[in-house]
Every structure is written in structure tokens, then in C-alpha cells.
């Protein structure tokens, strides 16, 4: 028989859903996080018109390059090493990113990474994104892993963008339309992407 979940854990399980974040202008030394769990994904969240600039600080060498979920997760798993993307999504369902612009400050640390990183997601839409990966990082502007259902439309690769989109373990690719990737070096990694693409402006270097 499989392990039976303790009754107190079943009673304490919580859910986060139906939230909208609008008209945000932020400067931060760490990621904007939406972090659910396998048995309690964060659902029906919208980011609408969000400008985020990631910056360095004198304290980054001592505490940077970590995710700190203390106060919201089991203490045994609440503090762990992780690269720092602009927007990080994990265990989310029906999340919409509309009008997200990511930029990076000067002399960014090596652990700054993607503009958007999403893992273990279901039904994700990214629309009207503009940005690029951190200057010191050899990664994609958008990284997707272990997800199902993704649409990307009306986005723009900013100057300095290497690979625009990387994906691994992703299924259910939908539309990839009206994206301007003329300033990126590569559109996709790997090249076979599974999207239905139309109206995109792709760099000749891709």
C-alpha cells in the first residue's frame, strides 16, 4: 500500500487562486516568485503590465543565488541554492503573463539567469514580453521545463538576447505568433519546438 497522508496535513492544505497583479514597477535583487506545490498549484494568476529590473548589491556574494521560502514552506526545504531569474514560476496552472518587461543592472552576478523561468506548469500564456537573459548568463531569455500547454505571442527580444526560448519536457505547445525576435541570436533551443507559428520576425542568425 502507498503511504497515507497524515490527517493534519490534509486539513492544513491551502490554495492560492484568482489573483491579479497590475501596473507594477519594481527594482529587486532577487526573483519575483510564484511557487506552488504538486498537490496545491497556484491557479488563475495574471501579471498585467509589470516592469522589473534586477540589480546587484554589496550583499549578493554572501546571500545571493538562493531561494528563500521560509514562512511559506517546510523549513527543511525552504532555503536552497537556485539561479536567479527575473520571474520564476513553479507548480502553476492557468497563469497569464501580459506586458512583462525585464532588464538587468550593471555588473550582474553569475547566478542571474533567465528573464522568465517556468517549471511544472499547466496552461501558461506569455504575451507582450520584452527582455533578454542576464548579461553574464549563457541561457535563454525564457526557459520552460516539465510543462503542458503554452502559448507565446506579441513578444519582443531585446538587444543582447541570445536564445529567446529554451524548453525541455514540454508538451501541448500552442500558438507562437507575432513575436519579434530579430534582435535575438537564436529563436529556439532545441530547433524543433512544436508550436504553431505565424507572423513572427525571426533573426537570420537563427
- Which tens digit of pLDDT belongs to each residue from 129-145? 999 999 877 999 999 99
What DSSP element (H or E) covers 8?
helix 7-12
Distance, in Å, from the CA atom of 188 to the CA atom of 185, rounded to the nearest integer, reads: 10
Task: Look at residue 46 and tell me if it is in a domain.
Answer: yes
- Answer for the pair 101, 120: CB distance below 8 angstroms, yes or no: no
Tell me whether residue 12 is in a domain.
no
Read off the pLDDT of residues 140-195 as tens digits, 9 standing for 90 and up: 999 999 999 999 999 999 999 999 999 999 999 999 999 999 999 999 999 999 99
Answer yes or no: is 187 within a domain: yes
Based on the structure, what is the number of domains in the chain?
1
Cα three-residue angle 67-70-76, rounded to 5 degrees: 90
Mean pLDDT, all residues of the chain = 89
Is residue 7 domain-resident?
no
- Give a yes or no: residue 13 inside a domain: no
Does some domain include residue 6? no
The reply to whether 8 falls in a domain is no
CA distance 51 to 99: 8
- Helices in 44-189 by DSSP H: which ranges? 60-63
Contact present, 51 and 31 (Cβ < 8 Å): no
- Is 5 domain-assigned? no
Domain encompassing residue 108: 27-202
In the chain, at which residue ranges do the beta strands (DSSP E only) sit? Answer: 17-28, 32-35, 42-54, 66-68, 79-81, 87-104, 116-127, 130-131, 142-153, 156-157, 163-177, 180-181, 186-189, 196-198, 201-202
Amino acid at each position: 500500500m502507498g503511504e497515507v497522508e497524515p490527517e493534519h496535513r490534509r486539513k492544513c492544505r491551502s490554495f492560492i487562486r484568482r489573483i491579479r497583479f497590475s501596473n507594477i514597477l519594481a527594482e529587486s535583487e532577487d526573483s519575483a516568485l510564484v511557487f506552488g506545490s504538486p498537490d496545491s498549484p497556484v491557479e488563475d494568476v495574471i501579471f498585467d503590465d509589470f516592469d522589473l529590473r534586477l540589480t546587484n548589491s554589496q550583499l549578493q556574494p554572501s546571500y545571493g543565488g538562493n531561494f528563500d521560502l521560509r514562512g511559506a514552506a517546510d523549513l527543511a526545504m525552504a532555503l536552497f541554492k537556485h539561479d536567479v531569474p527575473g520571474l520564476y514560476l513553479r507548480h502553476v496552472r492557468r497563469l497569464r503573463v501580459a506586458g512583462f518587461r525585464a532588464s538587468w543592472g550593471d555588473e550582474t552576478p553569475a547566478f542571474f539567469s533567465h528573464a522568465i523561468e517556468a517549471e511544472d506548469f499547466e496552461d501558461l500564456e506569455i504575451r507582450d514580453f520584452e527582455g533578454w537573459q542576464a548579461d553574464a548568463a549563457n541561457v535563454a531569455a525564457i526557459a520552460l521545463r516539465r510543462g503542458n500547454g503554452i502559448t507565446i505571442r506579441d513578444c519582443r527580444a531585446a538587444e543582447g538576447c541570445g536564445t529567446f526560448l529554451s524548453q525541455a519536457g514540454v508538451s501541448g505547445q500552442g500558438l507562437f505568433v507575432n513575436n519579434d525576435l530579430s534582435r535575438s541570436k537564436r529563436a529556439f533551443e532545441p530547433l524543433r519546438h512544436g508550436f504553431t507559428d505565424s507572423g513572427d520576425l525571426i533573426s537570420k542568425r537563427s
